[in-house]
Amino acid sequence: MTTDDARQTLEQALEVAREAESLPLTNHVLRGTSLKDALVTRFTLTADLSAEAVADVRRAAESMLDKQLLTYDPSYQTSSSQVMVEALAEIPELARVDTLIRLDDVPDDQANDPVVAMSHSVGVGTDQIVAIRMKGAGIATRRGGFPLVPSDGIYQRVEGEILYYEPSFDVITAGGFAFFTAVTLIQTKLQAPEKAREQARQTLKKVTKQVRIEGYDELEAAVMDDPTMRAKMAHVARRISADPSYAAFLTTEKLVTFVTDHPEYEIATVEAGGEHRLSFETSPQHRHKIPRLLADDYLHSYLTNRSYEAGSKQEASHGGDTSG
């Protein structure tokens, strides 16, 4: 998969959409507890709303093409001018519902189970563009209290479920590709964190190549399972990519010397075979310590002579000369 292939695919689908005088629109609601087990159902909009939704989907796809396309990388933080692209095959749960949406051989919506997502599909065949909005603002159903609508000056309660439409979408699919702007979308809403997990494992292996750590297997498992620690490894990967010389600081000798000189950071070491090494502690208050160390996630104030953990600005040093 290349971003050029993805761009060409979306451009072709949009070209068809621009040339057509009228475009078929299909609308679906995904219901269940998660995308993995969601039931795809169909619903219909009025003619005026359909035209509006078609225009919104087309504008969203055009906006994607106006930006730089990047191959999905969980370590990357996109700017407002960038879009991530991933092959649908790499996101199995999204690929499943995308196939059902495109086939459209699904029942009419009965508003039974909770809403997971809403989709609007423009066009037909291989050039069809599917725009999906995950649960949240713009798709929420029941809200606090209940809605009232006026009828001849008398307000009546609206029974049952209400769907809210907004012209914004979390992911667009076309020709086997998924386009999205939020890096966290795959991990948090599409329940497909495996790529991020594997990258975190590989990054940890790479940056600790010259670092001996007691409890490495437990550290590896923690890094793969904890989104915060995965993000920290992604930060390290970006740092090494931008400055390859940074890796030279990641040695057992240098790190042990650092944590010995800075006990305020509370990073444990152990001695084995006459040499010291870092020691991973699994307790909640200490499990993030080594990933922060590998990321050099510390700040120092020359004004107050205090050291802080960069992520929280929590003071790590309990002393310091405040004179001057």
**What is residue 306's three-state secondary structure?**
strand
Number of helices followed by number of strands (H, E) in the chain? 9, 16
pLDDT bracket for residue 318 (50, 70, 90) = very low
**What is residue 49's three-state secondary structure?**
helix
Q: What are the structural domain ranges in the chain? A: 3-192, 195-315
pLDDT of residue 191: 58
Residue 271's alpha-carbon distances to 41, 214, 268, in angstroms, are 61, 10, 10
Query: Tokens for 48?
Result: 């005026």
pLDDT bracket for residue 8 (50, 70, 90) = very high
Query: Tokens for 75?
Result: 């370590």
Q: Residue 272 — φ and ψ, nearest 5°?
A: -145, 125
Across all residues in the chain, what is the average pLDDT? 84
Q: Are the C-beta atoms of residues 255 and 278 closer than 8 Å to each other? A: yes
The model's pTM is: 0.67
Query: Tokens for 43?
Result: 């619903």
What would the pLDDT profile of 60-84 be if each residue is shown by its tens digit?
999 999 999 998 876 667 788 999 9
